[in-house]
């Protein structure tokens, strides 16, 4: 019987695939498909990161090439020494320091410069903001165009100060302020003396001047690097009107361009965007604020958001040319906030820079708090401990 059953089974022919065999085959197909997708993704990411690395390398080469091809200011070493000394005085404290850039940059057309292309900027926003940051307890590193407005003295018209002075009665070796000018001069002088902290040996205001585009960029880098030890306590308020175009040194004539040679044709090159190395390399932990000035308000928000997407900093303050003295807009990745002076504020002489600075101080405080939280979390993660105390905010 057993043999018959075996023989009967043998007549059936070759065995057919079972459900388990089919599942196995399907699993193999899925596995191979997944592996192919993984290989495809790997190749995609390798190519993408390769392109990004190549782009980053090209950008780095552009920045390096610019600084190699151009000359620093004639007094660069002395200016850098002053910058380093000023910043180091606050590196071991809990105090905040703001770098304010202000005024326009000139682009020379000759090595022995007579002619140049200039940017429109009186330095009003930067110089006013410096005073309000000082009022908020910040130390101020003020990088300004040599012919632009400066803190405190901006409150006087050119030549006006001389009309406030007179020789002391009966003593032509002493000079004093005219009695009727004292109410105007006194508060300005008091503010300046507080900023300079006379007698304490540690001023809270340092002013560094520049003229040309290259002067500005060399000094900007020196300031940003000097502030790096302060970490999140540094705020970079980039209000200078920086040229987008320049004439490379190799394309400039040595001496004055003469009109008898006929009409002048200029080929201007793009200035490498220095906001990216500033944020990524020179000072990656500071709270960075840039400005965007447009003549068409309809494109202002879009241009500001593009800048944030490109450079990855914290805030763009947008302003339109004709309304900039009473209206600005704060633009972040998440939202935007319009700041308008009311008619009452305008009538009372309130400057919009006062409101800007007050709001920035709050945002900077939040930036410092977030930085401390991230640092504490990182330390806890490394040690396996718990947070028992948080350092006070500066």
Q: What is the pLDDT of residues 200-256, one digit of tens each?
A: 668 999 999 999 999 999 999 999 999 999 999 999 999 999 999 999 999 988 999
Tokens linked to 66: 């610019």
Q: Is 217 helix (H, G, I), strand (E, B) or coil?
A: helix
Cα of 313 vs its chain's centroid, Å:
7
Confirm whether 3 is domain-assigned. Answer: no
Confirm whether 374 is domain-assigned. Answer: yes
Give CA angle at 128 (125, 134), nearest 5°: 130
CB atoms within 10 A of CB 223: 29
Mean per-residue pLDDT, 183-190:
93
Tens-digit pLDDT profile for residues 308-361: 999 999 999 999 989 999 999 999 998 999 999 999 999 999 999 999 999 999
Q: Are strands 116-118 and 106-108 parallel, antiparallel or unpaired?
A: antiparallel
Structural domain for 246, as ranges = 73-153+186-382
CB atoms within 10 A of CB 390: 10
DSSP bridge pairs for 269 = 246
Q: Hey, which of 20-24, 91-95, 364-368, 384-388 has the most confident mean pLDDT?
A: 364-368
Q: Are strands 269-270 and 165-168 parallel, antiparallel or unpaired?
A: unpaired
Confirm whether 253 is domain-assigned. Answer: yes
- Structural domain tally of the chain? 1
CATH number, domain of 350, equals 3.40.50.10300
Residue 14 clears pLDDT 60, i.e. is over it = no
Q: At what angle do helices 124-135 and 182-196 cross, to 10 degrees?
A: 70
Confirm whether 176 is domain-assigned. Answer: no
Q: Please give the model's pTM, rounded to 2 decimal places.
A: 0.80
Confirm whether 22 is domain-assigned. Answer: no
CB atoms within 10 A of CB 100: 27
């Amino acid at each position: 019987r057993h043999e018959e059953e075996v023989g009967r089974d043998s007549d059936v022919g070759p065995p057919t695939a079972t459900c388990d065999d089919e599942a196995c085959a399907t699993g193999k197909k899925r596995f191979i498909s997944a592996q192919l997708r993984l290989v495809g993704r790997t190749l995609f990411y390798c190519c993408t990161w390769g392109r990004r690395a190549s782009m980053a390398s090209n950008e780095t080469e552009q920045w390096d090439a610019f600084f190699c091809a151009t000359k620093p200011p004639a007094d660069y070493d002395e200016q850098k020494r002053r910058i380093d000394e000023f910043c180091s005085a606050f590196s071991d404290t809990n105090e905040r320091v703001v770098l304010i850039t202000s005024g326009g940059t000139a682009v020379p057309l000759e090595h022995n410069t007579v002619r140049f292309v200039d940017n429109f900027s009186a330095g009003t926003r930067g110089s006013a903001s410096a005073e309000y940051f000082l009022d908020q307890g910040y130390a101020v590193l003020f990088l300004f165009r040599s012919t632009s407005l400066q803190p405190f003295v901006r409150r006087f018209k050119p030549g006006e100060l001389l009309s406030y002075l007179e020789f002391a009665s009966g003593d032509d070796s002493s000079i004093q302020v005219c009695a009727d000018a004292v109410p105007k001069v006194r508060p300005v002088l008091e503010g300046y003396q507080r900023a300079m902290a006379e007698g304490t040996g540690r001023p809270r205001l340092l002013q560094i001047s520049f003229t040309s585009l290259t002067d500005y960029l060399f000094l900007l880098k020196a300031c940003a690097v000097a502030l790096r030890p302060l970490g999140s306590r540094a705020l970079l308020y980039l209000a200078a009107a920086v040229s987008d175009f320049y004439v490379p040194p190799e394309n400039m004539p040595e001496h004055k361009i003469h009109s008898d040679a006929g009409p002048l044709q200029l080929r201007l090159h793009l200035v490498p965007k220095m906001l990216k190395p500033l944020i990524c390399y020179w000072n990656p932990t500071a709270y960075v604020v840039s400005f965007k000035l447009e003549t068409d308000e309809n494109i202002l928000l879009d241009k500001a958001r593009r800048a944030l997407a490109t450079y990855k900093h914290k805030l763009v303050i947008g302003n339109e040319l004709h309304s900039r003295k009473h209206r600005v807009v704060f633009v972040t990745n998440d939202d935007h906030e319009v700041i308008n002076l009311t008619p009452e504020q305008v009538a009372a002489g309130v400057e919009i820079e006062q409101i800007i600075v007050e709001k920035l101080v709050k945002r900077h405080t939040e930036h410092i708090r977030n930085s401390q939280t991230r640092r504490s979390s990182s330390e806890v993660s490394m040690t396996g401990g718990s947070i028992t105390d948080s350092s006070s905010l500066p």
